[in-house]
Each structure stands twice: as C-alpha cells, then as structure tokens.
C-alpha cells in the first residue's frame, strides 16, 4: 500500500534510523585495514579481513529473503543490530588475525542485510517522494562518524586510528541503533507466504539480460571498476596512516560529505546529460582520483590527496547510481528488483571481493621492510601502486566509452530517475 502522509514523529524516527545505521559502519570500517596492519595482518590475512564486507554481501540477500517472508522488518533490524554490537565488541578484543576475520565475517552477515532492511522500512512508512530526504541522513551519519571519532578520541584521551577503539565506537552505535529499532513503525514481512528462492534473492534470473551486449559490457565494466575502486574503499586507511595523517576517519569522511551534495545534484545531471555520459563522468572521476594520489606523491603535494578523497561522491553518485538507473530502464518491470539485487551482488559482492585480493597482492608487491631508528618498519612504494591503479582506471574508461551504448528509452524520465536514485 502506498503511503501518502507521514507524521513528523515517524519521519524523525526513520531519519534517525538511517543516520545511525550508516554512522555505525563508518565509525570503524574506513580505518579497519590500518588496525589490521597494527596487529600483524598483511597479504592474504589483510585481504580476507577487508573482504568480510564483500562476503557478507554475497550472503545478505538470502538472509533478507528469509526475513521478508517470516518476520517484521523492524524486529529483524533490532536483532541484527544487537548481535552486531556484541560482535564488534568481541572484535575489538582480538589480536589474532584469524579470529578477528571470523568475528567480522559473522558481523557482516548481520550488518549487510540492514542496507535493504532500512530502505524497506523507510519506503513502507513514507511517501516515495520523501524517501531520498530520509536516506540522505545516512550520508550525514557517515560524515558525522568522523566527528564522533574525534569526540571519542578526546574522551579516551588517546590515539584512535590504528587501534581497536573505532570498533568499540561502532559497537556502541550499533546497540543504540538496536534501541531505536524498537520504536520504529511496525513493518510486516512484505512477501509473507510467497515461495522462497535463492535464485530470485540473488537476482540471478536477471542474468538473462546478459544476452544484450550493452548490458553485458555495463556489468563487465562495473565489476572490473571495483578493482581500482576497492583500493580506496578498503586500503586507503593504510595509505593515510603511512603518510602520517592524524585523523583517518575524519579525513576519509570528507568524501562522503561531497557525496551527499553530488547525489542531490545527480538527478538533474542525469536529465541533462543522460545515463551514459553521467557514468562516463564517474569513470573520469575514478581516473582523476588516482592521478591525484600519484601526483601528490610525485610532487609532495598533500592537497592532491584531499582532491582524491573529495571526488569519491562523483565516482559513486555518477557511475554506480547511474548504473542503477540504467538497470531500472533496461530491465523489464517484473525483473527490475532482481536486476538491482544482481548488480549489488556483482559489484559490492564479487567485484569488491576480487578487488580486495588483487589490491592486497599489489600493495604487498610494492611493500618492503626496513629498519628505521632500530625498528622494523613497512615501506610502501605508493607511486607505483597509484600509477598501476590509474592505468587500470584509464583502460576501463576508454573501453566503456568505446563499447557501451545506452540503448534505453525512458517514457517518463524525470519520475523514473527520481525513483531509481531513491
């Protein structure tokens, strides 16, 4: 049933839900690789730990499918956030990389379904035209985590980045998010009584669209784009720590601040330039990021590192959100939801997983150990790392421009664009 009106109290609850759900993840994940490095992770161990999210993406659609058919969404959200808080607390106490990986993996099985759950709860209890404004509080929450980490640092009166404290901050926020879930509007299972299918949950029926060469090229580039994208997403904290940045979480969260404004402007850009060129601009931003990182090292200009961080919103908002809109236009109406699930599985599941291992090997290839002031220290050749990543980004950009054509025709562009962005 379509919701036409919503009370201010409900709107505040739904906005707070989004705020906390993304804030709790941003509180610990951006600097997770830095912490893992501090407890002795490298190579395969590091790749596994930062890939816990990607593996969680592979499983979360199945968890979400079960929840959709048997339990109220707000009750499921309470349960997974409460369990998540406990698991993050346990993770903060670990110094064994193997144990840390398995605890984080269990945590991601709890957390990743919440991206779909929170959207489902919000869309079930708010008018569709207001959903983007509610979802925007998720971006605010991600950015606010930087301020949260700064306040926590002052409260603990100690260094935070590269320690287990962000995991504790995430645990506390997760428990708070669980409490908030108890006061959310009741949201019955939307697919109660319907047959459960793993194939449908993973969106695999939409693979029939791969017969279209443009759709196949779009999927291929989207998956491969996760290789350069994921080195920032999963390993940038290692780079920033190596370069001596004092506040890793705050520094990286400027990218999410820019993302909020770019996402707000994305519908207008899509209407003016079209999906294909918006996605091209997103890949240009991806290339700009790694050229900026490379030149920042070559010319010792830290300002360029901030430029590389700030273009995050353009990469995500234009290429990945643009891709969601392309799928919404390309897929038949009865297959649109499955197709959206499939692209999420392909990018933040398979693509991110592959990218983490490829980039882990790349970083390890250009890492040596040297004794500095009597201490054995890791030395990274970031110029080679960013140079290779920039070349990969350039090849993907050229391939996409040359081989992908947007052959979709929207009968109601403005409305469909707004729906897809939502």
What is the per-residue pLDDT across 219-249, written as a single tens digit (0 to 9) for each?
999 999 999 999 999 899 899 989 988 778 7
pLDDT value of position 419: 45
Q: Is the pLDDT of residue 28 over 60?
A: yes
* Weakest mean pLDDT among 148-152, 326-330, 361-365, 403-407: 148-152
Mean pLDDT value of segment 372-382: 85
Mean pLDDT value of segment 126-145: 78
Mean pLDDT value of segment 347-354: 91
The full set of domains in the chain, from first to last, is: 8-188 (1.20.1250.20), 200-422 (1.20.1250.20)
Mean pLDDT value of segment 72-100: 93
- 3-state class (DSSP) for residue 372: strand
Percent of the chain with pLDDT over 90: 42
What's the whole-number average pLDDT of the chain?
A: 85
pLDDT digits (tens, 9 = 90+) for 279-313: 999 999 999 999 999 999 999 999 999 999 999 98
Q: Is the pLDDT of residue 369 over 90?
A: no
The pTM for the full model equals 0.79
Confidence of residue 30 (pLDDT cuts 50, 70, 90): confident
pLDDT value of position 422: 41
Q: Is the pLDDT of residue 390 over 90?
A: yes
Q: Is the pLDDT of residue 262 over 50?
A: yes
Q: Is the pLDDT of residue 62 over 70?
A: yes
* Weakest mean pLDDT among 20-29, 38-47, 86-95, 376-385: 38-47
pLDDT digits (tens, 9 = 90+) for 160-170: 777 888 899 89
């Amino acid at each position: 049933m379509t919701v036409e009106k919503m009370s201010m109290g409900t709107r505040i609850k739904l906005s707070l839900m989004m705020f906390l759900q993304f804030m709790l993840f941003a509180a610990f994940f951006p600097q997770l690789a830095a912490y893992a490095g501090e407890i002795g992770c490298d190579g395969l161990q590091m790749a596994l730990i930062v890939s816990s999210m990607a593996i969680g993406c592979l499983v979360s659609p199945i968890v979400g499918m079960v929840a959709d058919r048997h339990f109220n969404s707000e009750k499921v959200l309470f349960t997974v956030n409460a369990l998540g808080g406990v698991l993050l607390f346990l993770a903060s106490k670990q110094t064994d990389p193997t144990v840390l990986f398995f605890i984080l993996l269990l945590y991601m099985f709890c957390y990743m379904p919440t991206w779909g759950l929170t959207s489902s709860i919000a869309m079930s209890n708010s008018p569709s035209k207001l959903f983007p404004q509610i979802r925007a509080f998720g971006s605010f929450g991600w950015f606010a985590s930087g301020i949260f980490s700064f306040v926590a640092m002052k409260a603990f009166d100690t260094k935070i980045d590269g320690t287990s404290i962000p995991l504790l901050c995430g645990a506390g926020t997760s428990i708070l998010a669980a409490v908030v879930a108890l006061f959310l509007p009741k949201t019955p299972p939307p697919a109660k009584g319907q047959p459960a299918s793993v194939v449908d949950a993973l969106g695999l029926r939409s693979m029939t669209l791969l017969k279209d060469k443009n759709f196949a090229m779009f999927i291929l580039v989207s998956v491969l784009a996760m290789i350069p994208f994921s080195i920032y997403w999963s390993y940038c904290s290692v780079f920033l720590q190596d370069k001596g940045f004092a506040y890793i979480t705050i520094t990286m969260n400027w990218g999410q601040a820019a993302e909020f404004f770019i996402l707000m402007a994305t519908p207008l850009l899509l209407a003016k330039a079209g999906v294909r060129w918006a996605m091209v601009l997103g890949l240009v931003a991806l290339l700009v990021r790694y050229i900026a990182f490379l030149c920042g090292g070559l010319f010792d200009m830290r300002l360029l590192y901030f430029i590389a961080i700030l273009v995050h919103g353009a990469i995500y908002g234009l290429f990945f959100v643009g891709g969601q809109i392309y799928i919404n236009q390309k897929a038949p109406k009865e297959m649109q939801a499955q197709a959206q699930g499939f692209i999420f599985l392909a990018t933040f599941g398979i693509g991110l997983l592959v990218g983490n291992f490829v980039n882990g090997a790349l970083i390890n290839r250009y890492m040596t150990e040297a004794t500095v002031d009597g201490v054995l220290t890791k030395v990274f050749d970031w110029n080679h790392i960013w140079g290779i990543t920039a070349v990969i980004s350039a090849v993907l950009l050229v391939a996409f421009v040359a081989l992908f054509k947007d052959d979709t025709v929207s009968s109601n562009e403005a409305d469909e664009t707004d729906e897809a962005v939502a």
